[in-house]
Amino acid sequence: MKYKTSSLFFLLLGTFFKGFIYCQGDLFISGNSGPIANAGRDIKTLSKGSIFLDGSRSYVTDGSTIKYHWEFSPGLVLSSDNDFSQEISTSLFGETYLKSVTTFKDVLDVKLAENNPGTKLEVVLKIKDRIGFEDRDTLIVEYFDPTIPKEESLDTMMVSSDSLFFTVTDTDTVVPKNLGQGILIQSYVRDEIPQMDIEIINSIIFNQIQEIGYNTKVYLNKDLNQSTLSEDYNFLCKDDECASQNAMLLNAKHVLVWEFAESEDLLYIRIFDPMNYNDWIAEDILSDPYKVLSESGIYGLDPLVRTSVTKVMSVRNFKNEISVLNRFKMKNKVLVEWGKYPIWAGITYLILDKIFASDSKESLPTQPPGFPHD
């Protein structure tokens, strides 16, 4: 009887440990890839502007709620300009600059301190899973001044004058007309999507304009100082005439507008001169934006919007604001991408040559009878 009791005890004990190990195994397996922090792209900004820190592409595999811990370099964020009292926690460098913010928000609107053009400061995003594993990602905030001309350079890339998409006049020096500088981004969207999503799309457009090498000022409503604006400036424009008046008040040279179609699942992006707003310089139409939003969220539109902005900005009207090299990259994107991978280009050439090239081996001449002669 005693033997049976001992056996039963050890059986139960073994079952307990087996279950415990399986539970722990599931816990570690569920998070075996660890958390992934994604702070988003590097950001270029004007001094005293504001930026969106976007950690929405970060994730944890254990299903726990993500806390986004943002750390700022000294001198980047003034505590007096930002109110993060509703977030989980904040910390300071002394009494002036913000050191960190911890929040449940995946997108954080941050107003920046004033710094000299060319200043580059880091922002670090940290996230943890419930076990305690941590991951971090870093982005760079770079201050720039669009009034300072950027030195043109073709690097090591050669652009021939007989390129498929270029003519000699593309590189001619043109004296710019006195029509102001910069692009004003305007959205006619109101209730179709949340205001935060509107600002995210504006930021995507802003970022893409900089990515393609446009070095003149870009205006966003959220960055404008209302105290210095004319009373005639309208933050709620719904047509091109109103947007043109805003641009002229800012002395902006162009207006880039985006809006949803009223009765179709379409998104329009167009650009025009405020002095002639009825004659658009370029336009592009994105299909099924609401479908993309419902399936992938606001960032599902990111690649589509970037491609559209590149398309409308690739016209000749912007040749003075975008370098020859960057315009070549925009218009010859496929060639540039293939140029990055010469091995694949070579393999492709060999395959095509094998398929289409005719047999170059000539048949040997027929030898005369008895050749060679003895």
The reply to whether 181 and 313 lie within a common domain is yes
Kindly tell me if the per-residue pLDDT of 166 is higher than 90: no
Q: What is the mean pLDDT of residues 241-255?
A: 92
Residue-wise pLDDT for 330-374, tens only, equals 555 545 444 555 555 566 656 766 666 555 454 555 656 665 655
Strand order in the sheet with 97-103: 43-45, 134-143, 120-128, 68-72, 97-103, 89-93
The reply to whether 72 and 185 lie within a common domain is no
pLDDT for the residue 101: 94
Residue-wise pLDDT for 282-309, tens only, equals 999 999 999 999 888 888 999 999 999 9
Q: What is the CATH number of the domain that holds 235?
A: 3.40.50
CA distances to 74, 149, 200, 210, 269 from 310, rounded to whole Å, are 35, 21, 17, 10, 11
Instruction: Return the amino acid letter for 21.
Output: I
Q: Is residue 149 part of a domain?
A: no
Q: Residue 67 — pLDDT band, cuts 50, 70, 90?
A: very high
Give CB contacts under 8 A, 24+ apart, made by 352-361. none
The reply to whether 117 and 217 lie within a common domain is no
- Using the Cα atoms of residue 7, residue 9, residue 13 and residue 18 in order, give the sign of their dihedral: positive
pLDDT for the residue 156: 37
pLDDT for the residue 192: 82
Domain total of the chain? 2
The reply to whether 274 and 223 lie within a common domain is yes
Kindly tell me if the per-residue pLDDT of 47 is higher than 50: yes
- Which residue has 């004319």 as its token pair? 230
Q: Are 105 and 68 in contact (CB under 8 A)?
A: yes
The reply to whether 284 and 188 lie within a common domain is yes
**Contacts of residue 271, Cβ cutoff 8 Å, sequence gap at least 6:** 183, 254, 255, 256, 257, 280, 281, 282, 283, 312, 313
pLDDT for the residue 258: 95
The reply to whether 127 and 179 lie within a common domain is no
Q: Is residue 114 part of a domain?
A: yes
The reply to whether 311 and 183 lie within a common domain is yes
The reply to whether 75 and 186 lie within a common domain is no
The reply to whether 123 and 214 lie within a common domain is no
Q: Residue 172 — pLDDT band, cuts 50, 70, 90?
A: very low
Kindly tell me if the per-residue pLDDT of 314 is higher than 70: yes
Residue-wise pLDDT for 71-100, tens only, equals 999 999 988 889 999 999 999 988 889 999
Given 276, 303, 318, which residue is the final one in a domain? 318
Residue-wise pLDDT for 200-231, tens only, equals 999 899 988 888 887 778 899 888 888 888 88
Kindly tell me if the per-residue pLDDT of 26 is higher than 60: no
Q: Is residue 54 part of a domain?
A: yes
Q: What is the mean pLDDT of residues 91-114?
A: 90
Domain that holds residue 312: 175-318
The reply to whether 180 and 78 lie within a common domain is no
Given 318, 338, 355, which residue is the final one in a domain? 318
Q: Are 136 and 58 in contact (CB under 8 A)?
A: no
pLDDT for the residue 24: 47
Q: Are 124 and 137 in contact (CB under 8 A)?
A: yes
Smallest CA-to-CA distance from 187 within 177, 173, 201 is with 201
Q: Is residue 19 part of a domain?
A: no
Q: Is residue 35 part of a domain?
A: no
- Which residue has 């996230």 as its token pair? 127
Q: Are 148 and 297 in contact (CB under 8 A)?
A: no
The reply to whether 128 and 200 lie within a common domain is no
Q: What is the CATH number of the domain that holds 121?
A: 2.60.40.10
For the chain, give the mean pLDDT.
Answer: 76
* 34/176 Cα distance (integer angstroms): 54
* 52/33 Cα distance (integer angstroms): 28
Q: What is the mean pLDDT of residues 107-127?
A: 90
Q: Is residue 347 part of a domain?
A: no
Q: Is residue 86 part of a domain?
A: yes
Given 298, 318, 338, which residue is the final one in a domain? 318
